[in-house]
């Protein structure tokens, strides 16, 4: 097995870049929407065959065993080349959690089928009135013999219509403090009593779903970790998620698309526009520098603190501002749905704009990030 961590960084990046450029089709690059399972299936199978489907997993569990430094480089190359993200909740979120908190039986049952993409997962966290305040969730699991009976609703469940399983945060103790009465449960979406209802977004895509649970019977052995200790695992996932959501990749890609549009329409000839573009360049550079700071902390084996929230808040707002300016620079073409030619390239300003809208919401809204910074970093009193 290849020891990727012993490779020179430049050689490693070139290896990743060469593979993607040779094997990832052009129609899966720089796509301004989330791709569905069937659309990325051939590309996913190439990653499976190369054993690159789980770069961050330890080698003993079937992953590439990449160090933090190599994992960040791997992801940065995929992002730079605009590779569409596959339905990867099982790889990115559930797999690492099972490796750390799951039982041997759970790891043996679920990890192999995540690695082959035979079973695709979705995340059941947010609920109506329990999105940013996730700890107030109400979806309930009641123990009855050797099963839990689940009732409730999840919403904004990304690509649930494509998934085979869902990992749920459920309330298992209504009397405990809200963070202390939550458990982490694995649910087969073929179980009777589950209804998935797609949500159509502003762009006309069905990227999310509402999921309803009506007396759904789930084996008790599907609970991960200890009863009522699911919040610990939820926080572990959210902290890991925020550095990747704070990556400069989206802003960098959006800025490159803005330049293409502005040069084609002549906006780049206007002094006022050049001033805005220069400011975006500075902001993207500052974001990349900030991201590197947190990434270096992970590379040293450190643990990210609450100050990582500044990264996600900064990245999301900047991404939105750049896409808004791209609409303006495209003039009347900017309101057209779908890609349009700008010079020798094709850009979808409206698709980019729509894709950026939820960036200040998912992964913890900007308002929540600011509250975390105010209380946990600056020590300001709560309202």
Which positions are annotated as active-site residues?
241
* Of 97, 5, 115, nearest in space to 49 by CA: 115
Instruction: Residue 204: count other Cβ atoms within 10 Å of its Cβ.
Output: 9
Torsion of CA 165, 167, 172, 175, to 10 degrees: -140
Name 362's Cβ contacts closer than 8 Å, sequence gap at least 6.
156, 245
Strand-pair partners of 186 = 167
* Helical segments of the chain, H only: 9-23, 37-50, 68-80, 89, 95-101, 104-115, 230-245, 249-265, 271-299, 309-330, 349-356, 366-372
Rounded Cα distance between 6 and 234, Å, is 32
Position of tokens 């996932």? Answer: 237
Q: Calculate ∠ Cα 203-206-209, nearest 5°.
A: 130
Phi-psi region of 197 (alpha: psi -120 to 50; beta: other; left: phi over 0): beta
Looking up tokens 């069937």, which residue turns up? 38
């Amino acid at each position: 097995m290849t020891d990727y961590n012993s490779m020179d960084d430049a050689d490693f990046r070139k290896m990743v870049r060469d593979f993607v450029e040779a094997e990832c089709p052009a129609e899966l690059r720089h796509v301004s929407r989330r791709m569905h399972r069937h659309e990325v299936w051939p590309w996913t199978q190439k990653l499976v065959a190369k054993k690159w489907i789980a770069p961050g997993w330890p080698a003993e569990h079937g992953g590439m065993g990449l160090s933090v430094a190599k994992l960040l480089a791997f992801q940065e190359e995929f992002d730079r080349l605009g590779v569409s993200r596959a339905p990867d909740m099982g790889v990115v979120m559930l797999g690492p959690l099972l490796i750390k908190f799951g039982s041997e039986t759970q790891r043996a049952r679920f990890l192999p089928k995540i690695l082959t993409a035979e079973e695709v997962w979705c995340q059941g966290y947010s609920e109506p009135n329990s999105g940013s305040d996730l700890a107030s969730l109400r979806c309930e699991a009641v123990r009855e013999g050797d099963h839990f009976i689940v009732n409730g609703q999840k919403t904004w469940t990304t690509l649930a219509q494509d998934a085979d399983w869902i990992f749920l945060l459920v309330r298992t103790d209504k009397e405990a403090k809200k963070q202390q009465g939550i458990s982490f449960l694995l649910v087969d979406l073929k179980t009777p009593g589950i209804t998935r209802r797609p949500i159509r977004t502003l762009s006309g895509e069905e990227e999310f779903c509402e999921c309803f649970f009506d007396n759904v019977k789930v084996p008790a052995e599907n609970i991960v970790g200890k009863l009522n200790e699911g919040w610990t695992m939820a926080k572990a996932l959210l902290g890991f998620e925020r550095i990747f959501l704070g990556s400069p990749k989206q802003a960098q890609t959006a800025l490159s698309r803005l330049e293409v549009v502005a040069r084609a329409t002549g906006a780049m000839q206007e002094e006022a526009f050049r001033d805005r573009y220069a400011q975006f360049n500075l902001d993207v550079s500052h974001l990349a520098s900030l991201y590197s700071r947190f990434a270096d902390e992970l590379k040293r084996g450190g643990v990210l603190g609450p100050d990582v929230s500044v990264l996600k808040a900064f990245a999301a707002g900047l991404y939105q501002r750049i896409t808004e300016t791209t609409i303006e620079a495209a003039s009347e073409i900017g309101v057209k749905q779908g890609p349009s030619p700008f010079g020798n390239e094709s850009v979808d300003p409206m698709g980019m704009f729509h894709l950026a809208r939820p960036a200040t919401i998912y992964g913890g809204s900007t308002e929540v990030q600011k509250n975390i910074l105010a209380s946990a970093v600056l020590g300001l009193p709560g309202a």
